[in-house]
Structure 1
């Protein structure tokens, strides 16, 4: 078959079916179908983008077959492929004529060849998301009906529709960068490397309008409720979001998430992402949307308590955040109890405490570590039982080991301390590991309570010696449990806890050394005649009043009591008092204040000798 002598130019934004229709018209054939039949192939195969038919058409029109194939809409089930991109048939409008009358007039005025073959069908016009002609600032016209015989035959479709076709809207068309972008992309005009350009065509023609619809008309807007103008404006709004890149799209998702978290209801795809999720999860399984689904899924996991057990485009297999609700589901703990514990631990503040449980979010690993401890944690009385100690030993043990509660007491939330089971068990294991000898029932090896009582020391002293490794004799009596099973050497502990002697005399000792009564000694101290000090008794470890021996000796060297003179000279009290009085010796202190009479020793000397008495 030889080539045609009459051909028409193929515009870079024209459909292949339009080129075939205009070629038929230019050669005087009444329809594209009749023309293709005469040429030995079927027009339907051109419509479906079949390679043999396109190659035949390229041959008779002296066109580049590869170029024509790259511009064809290749049918593949319910989808069409154009070049490296594909689109669902539901996003195409090919059964009725859609066109801009002013573009058509421009074609007639500027084109060449037969007049009825000059107007051509733009590729963008068959996409249902394209509703305007940005060049002429008006809405496209669309035929109200179409005969099967002329479908896809652009020349005949427009000729039949010209009289009754009406614009999609009578208003001036709004400016739409979205539609200009699509026209350029479909015409394969040069494009920069951007995130939007990396997305499949199917995503670009559909998602912007959904995003814009949600922004302008609410989370659950309905397509059928939007006018044509509102649809164009919604698509433009969504395009502004996506044209700025992936981060901008994620910001949009974050805004949606915050609205969902501020409301009520169980978190899920519909609550988080509204109409966008409903369409991508239920209305289509198209894998072209998988990049968008992945971003939505990852953003939800990163910013909401979505995790294993939830579904978002399928089961969720990881978690970044826990809510109080999700944490109660895995722990079995009541949500109010969990909120109080989190508040006491300082993981949430007063503001978060007042939020509903599914709105309080914490890092998943932090929450899981927290739950692992509190769900097995021990109250104070349970610690007594695990350690095998009475209440009296608890505080000394805490001071020595530094064991602290995982959850401290909190008056605000009425929470009592909770200790980590592993921490308490570690203390017990450490204590028991100090065993040095087997228990043989020796009298010297006693339990800690008995040793403390008999050495008059403190529990924490024994625990301190044990943990520091200073005790050489430590055994475990398996008949008891916990710390009650520990046996330590009574003598060894006594030697180690024995305090240094304070070097003073007790009041009783001083009383005997001075040869006076306790009351008199006390008054001497109170009046400042004898110095005293407070010291710790090295035996019973209690504070006591003591007097240095040197002070007692000094007092004895300076003063002598009447009782001592009576014993020394074997004379009556009155006799000695009279003798000294006659000699002019008076008491060193007022006797009525002390309850006893003392003289200065140097004044008494020589006054009580027989000779002196005779004189």
Structure 2
């Protein structure tokens, strides 16, 4: 097929529609009529149909591949592909004509042989809505026309001709600004550049752009921006902010969503869910973007919701059922377990499940680990006995019950006293305690002095009931019975003498006043006087039987005293004489008592003094 005699050169990055429109200026009133002359339609060229593009390429004298390289190929209803990148109608400027004045001025300057209306051409990048800055001149794109009627759509040259008289002024007045991260990313991705974003490269291009604008709009304008009325500057700023979030990867997205969750002004009910917290992000992904291409973005936000909100089996997040619950709130756990929220909060606090600052959070906003919380709730359901009820369950009188509780022999399933709740006992725990206590006990119908229950045995053996219970639980009690006329704790009988032997304390090795009396051949009253006045050094020890403090004299101290001193009565008894005769004899020898007899109630002499007196007399 022979090309036309008069053609125009194909521009770098030029769309097929722009090329046809420029050709049509030479031959027909419009691009649509021009295409009809060659048995095709302008719409087919706009939609990138291969046969139409091949026809135009042949007539325009350009390579078909070069013309098709910048075609927006229609792949479905409102869906297109540019250089392998998927786009949708909403991501393109289809009814809007945007230009870079400097690029158009350069086109005219580079083609002096062409009339001014033939030289400027449309770049494919200018039809992507998120690109609002020329990547060549860093100049803001200028909108020439918008809301075009169908007969004027895509006929490039007819729109550009309007601005040619003022193009130089527009180019001179055009400012500059750096490309945003999103604009740079779009240019690089369409040009086939290397992957630059793990998250965004895994999405189709139109989802990447929409996702950046969605996240950025919420970040810059609040939770509920009206995306339909954003100005170009607001949309550009939103895209830049959203790109910074998504381009930084999943941790940055999670941090942003967590910030929204933390900053939400929760009401007292605490019933607000992810839709209220994430606002337009949630609404757009749940209700406004049914395209499966948005699934990666839905999964990104959905994973955060499933791990940071109290959702579980029975709930759905973006159409997907929740299979595993990561978090519970006091409200959701209360609904699940039928436990009252106030009681549940106290129990969870006592178990250390609740987070810091939980007291200031409403029931619906107080989140915690679902597994730990459910375990606590299950245990709470089992722990149904107060301390008083636990004593009744065990058949333990009040004093015995309090002893078992304070000593830790029976342990509450929940220690909630520090958190404003009562300690609670589980019947199964008390059953286990009773089983250990009664293990191996023989049934009996009688009780006697040598066979008594735990409280009575404690009195007889001068010990505490706690000691007897611990001896039983530790397996140290060999003789044990179960009184058939009683039940549980009060039915346990033990051998009093066995317990007395087991609880007897260590022998202190000292001598009491009665024992000293026999040792020194004196009276108990005299022995007490010797201790009182310090002639016998005493110590205070615990009585091994009755656990009471007892004053005794060490045996070594008694032996020392006996070696140094001897009583008048002991001397008289040894000599078989009357003590008064012995006393007159000792006094006539000039020997005086070692202590004041009036203080101790008896006369004692030093043995060394008596021995010297005896040697002198001989």
Question: Shorter chain as normaliser: what TM range?
Answer: 0.7 to 0.9
- Residue equivalent to 1:559: 567
Residues 397 and 116 of structure 1, relative CA distance in 2, 3 Å threshold:
closer
Q: Does 1:523 align with 2:525?
A: no
Select between 507-516 and 179-188 the one with higher mean Cα deviation: 507-516
1:148, 1:348 → 2: CA distance?
Answer: 62
- 1:129 alignment partner in structure 2: 130
Contact 2:99/2:141 (8 A) holds in 1 = no
Aligned counterpart, 1:13: 13
Q: Mean Cα displacement is larger for which, 485-494 or 134-143?
A: 485-494
- Tell me which of 162, 184, 187 is aligned to 1:184: 187
Residues 373/184 of structure 1: CA separation in 2 closer, same or farther (3 Å cut) = same
* Pairwise CA distance, 1:162: 7.2
Q: Closer, same or farther in 2 for the Cα pair 1:485/1:60, shift >3 Å? A: farther
Kept after mapping to 1: 8 A contact 2:116/2:164: no
State the 1:341 CA deviation: 5.5
What is the number of equivalent residue pairs in this alignment?
A: 587
| Alignment match, 2:304 | 299
The 5-angstrom pairing of residues 187-336 of structure 1 reads 187-195=190-198, 196-223=200-227, 226-260=230-264, 266-303=271-308, 312-314=317-319, 316-330=322-336
Q: 1:147 to 1:547 in 2, by over 3 A?
A: closer
User: CA separation in 2, counterparts of 1:233 and 1:583?
Assistant: 123
Distance 1:597 1:479 in 2: 61
Q: 1:416 to 1:179 in 2, by over 3 A?
A: closer
Q: Residue 448 of structure 1 is aligned with which of 444, 454, 475?
A: 454
8 Å CA contact retained: 2:134, 2:141: yes
Matches of 1:421 and 1:10 in 2, distance apart? 89
Length-normalised TM-score, structure 1 = 0.75
> Secondary structure of 2:263's match?
helix
Distance 1:546 1:74 in 2: 111
Instruction: State whether structure 2 residue 477 is matched by structure 1 residue 471.
Output: yes
For 1:150, the equivalent position in structure 2 comes to: 152
Take 2:185 and 2:541, find their aligned partners in 1: how far apart are those partners? 96
SS of match in other structure, 2:29: coil
Offset from partner CA, 1:219-258 (integer Å, 9 cap, x none): 3333466443333333333334334444444433333233
Shift of 1:217: 2.9
Equivalent residue for 2:468?
A: 462
Cα distance change, pair 189–119 in 1 and its aligned pair in 2 (3 A)? farther
1:33 and 2:19 equivalent?
A: no
Q: SS in structure 2 opposite 1:384?
A: helix
User: Does the 8 A contact of 1:323 with 1:360 survive in 2?
Assistant: yes
| Distance apart, 1:202 and its partner CA | 1.6
Partner Cα distance (1:334, 1:360) in 2: 15
* Equivalent residue number for residue 407 of structure 1: 415
Native 8 Å contact 2:568 2:605 kept in 1: yes
What CA RMSD, in Å, does the superposition of the two structures yield over aligned residues? 4.9
Q: Distance in 1 between matches of 2:202 and 2:513?
A: 98
Q: 1:580 to 1:380 in 2, by over 3 A?
A: same
Where in structure 2 are there 5+ consecutive unaligned residues?
A: 611-618
Q: How far 1:297 moved relative to its partner?
A: 2.7
Q: 8 Å contact 2:347–2:416 — kept in the other structure?
A: no
**Residues 1:199 and 1:557: Cα distance change in structure 2 (over 3 Å):** same
Say whether 1:384 aligns with 2:391.
Answer: yes
Q: Is the 8 A contact 1:74 1:82 kept in 2?
A: no
Quick one: distance in 1 between partners of 2:219 and 2:379?
44
- Judging changes above 3 Å, is the alpha-carbon distance between structure 1 residues 176 and 548 closer, same or farther for their aligned structure 2 residues? closer
CA distance in 2, matches of 1:91, 1:349: 44
| Residue equivalent to 2:44 | 45
**CA contact 1:13–1:183 (8 Å) conserved in 2:** no
How many angstroms does 1:512 deviate by? Answer: 8.2
Equivalent-residue separation in structure 1 for 2:121 and 2:551 (angstroms): 119
